[in-house]
Structure 1
């Protein structure tokens, strides 16, 4: 397996300092390792979130990892990374703890940072989860706007499983607004896209939505 270049650089700077008497590169090497730590915390946190979705058992380390990543990225001046980490912290509060008061500030900030850095994928995720929050609060038009903008970005990125997942949410909204034909069409499109992308989890969401909404 290929080693991260930042770890290799740290080893080189160690040897430069210890054997060569040149410690000038140590600070840069430490910053590189902070970046490695932030990336690792993000990866571990996302795995714990996936595990929660599978077994619905909270692991408090998940939030700790995302908050640690956000702090490290912030210290490094990595605005894009900070925005992504804040999104996941907000998602933890929203999905794991069902705490919108804690989730919304993090999601709003994540959207702002992702927009600033042109991170379309994180923008799409933040918009999706802000749409979910608006839906839960009964603000259906706001929820629709958020989900439609998230979907537009995901089409632009070619992120078909994400498009399909959003279409399921838009299907629920359409049904709740009395647009049952639109709901059926959205779910049919979601099923087609999920099938093409082999997104079996989203296909199950489509089946659940059709059952919940009594749609073919």
Structure 2
């Protein structure tokens, strides 16, 4: 994997060769490399803003107006440099913002579907699992419980394979709600019990709180 320092160094070398030797052959590649750096930075900064929204305590969280433009900038740059994996990630976060912050599944779902397809093409199981999770959430909200269950279970399988067990526990909360909605109360309790064991083992305190909230709601 090309690291940021390598891309910056490439730009420095391209500049020096152009200025001192009159050789401009490296400029285009160096500019593309910096576009990739900018895309990564925009995506990462947008995710930090999303984390602030998700972690807000006390007063109701307010969307940061910079978040969506950051994800959209990342998407444009990833497309420009032909980075399918990056494009899948940016589309996921755009979809996540519309779903989680704006409560707009109509806008979110096409982004999430496209993200899933591109992630599958590029072999990014992490983004596949994220897109499936949020597609499952949308299906649950629309009353398509069997579809929601299938998507969350597949997301969980991918997360287990990658070692993201706190993510598995998070998915299990949704699966418990689905079980309750399908009149499977014993399954719902068992799912939450397993999720709690996983979350506590990995010190996923926020997920533990969500599990307790789910128990109360059921």
Q: Provide TM-score, normalisation by structure 1.
A: 0.96
Q: What count of residue pairs does the alignment treat as equivalent?
A: 212
Quote the Cα distance in structure 2 between the aligned partners of 1:5 and 1:42: 19
Q: Which residue does the alignment assign to 2:19?
A: 18
Match for 1:205 among 179, 203, 210?
210
The answer to whether the 8 A contact 2:4-2:37 is kept is no
Q: Which residue does the alignment assign to 1:46?
A: 47
Shift of 1:110: 0.2
RMSD: 1.0
Q: Which residue does the alignment assign to 1:27?
A: 28
Q: Which residue does the alignment assign to 1:175?
A: 180
| Runs of 5+ consecutive residues of structure 1 not aligned to the other structure | none
Q: Provide TM-score, normalisation by structure 2.
A: 0.95
Q: Which runs of 4+ in 1 moved over 2 A?
A: none
1:16-72 superposed Cα distances (whole Å, 9 cap, x missing partner): 111121111000000000000000000000000001112211012111111111111
Match for 1:125 among 126, 130, 145?
130
| Runs of 5+ consecutive residues of structure 2 not aligned to the other structure | none
Quote the Cα distance in structure 1 between the aligned partners of 2:161 and 2:144: 26
Shift of 1:95: 0.7
1:4 match: secondary structure = helix
Shift of 1:4: 1.8
Q: Which residue does the alignment assign to 2:69?
A: 64
Q: Which residue does the alignment assign to 2:199?
A: 194
